[in-house]
Amino acid sequence: MDLFSYNTKFVILTKPFKIENMNFIKSLFGIKESKENNKETDNNKNFDILKYDGIRALNIQKIAYAIRCLEGALEIKNDVETMELLANAYIADNNNKGAIAVLERECAFSPNEIKPLLSLASVLFLEEDYIKMNEVCNKAIELDDNDASALYLNAKRLWD
């Protein structure tokens, strides 16, 4: 018995359609899937799953799980938003050293952005590392000399 039985107007499946038969249809229509494309798709899918699980965990205050998820997502792909979320998770976990490392990585990843520099300066202020904070604030001021936040953080450093 064949897979298909032919009627004058319709093709009727005589066997249940299984995934094994899919290869036959793909070869019939000349569809080729590359393994690299599948691997890239799987990586993007895993990245999204880990990132959004980390966000959900942050929202329900499961900080340790959020850190694990966001670190796993960053192993797959560097993403500025994920780095910010991971830094926030480290700060919530009272791990300022981890937050500084992630924020420095984010600053290196996007050197022309002022937001990660300001976040880094704020965490350095909490750690009372005023020398490094001065350097970071000066970089932020070089990028935008009218930014009030960079000027404020630099003055705050001098106050303490």
- The whole-model pTM stands at 0.73
Q: Which residues partner with 4 through β-bridges?
A: 13
Where do the structural domains in the chain lie, given as residue ranges?
Answer: 38-95, 111-160
Mean pLDDT by 10 residues, the chain (160 residues): 49 50 60 67 90 94 94 93 95 95 94 93 93 93 89 82
Helix (H) or strand (E) run with residue 5 in it: strand 4-6
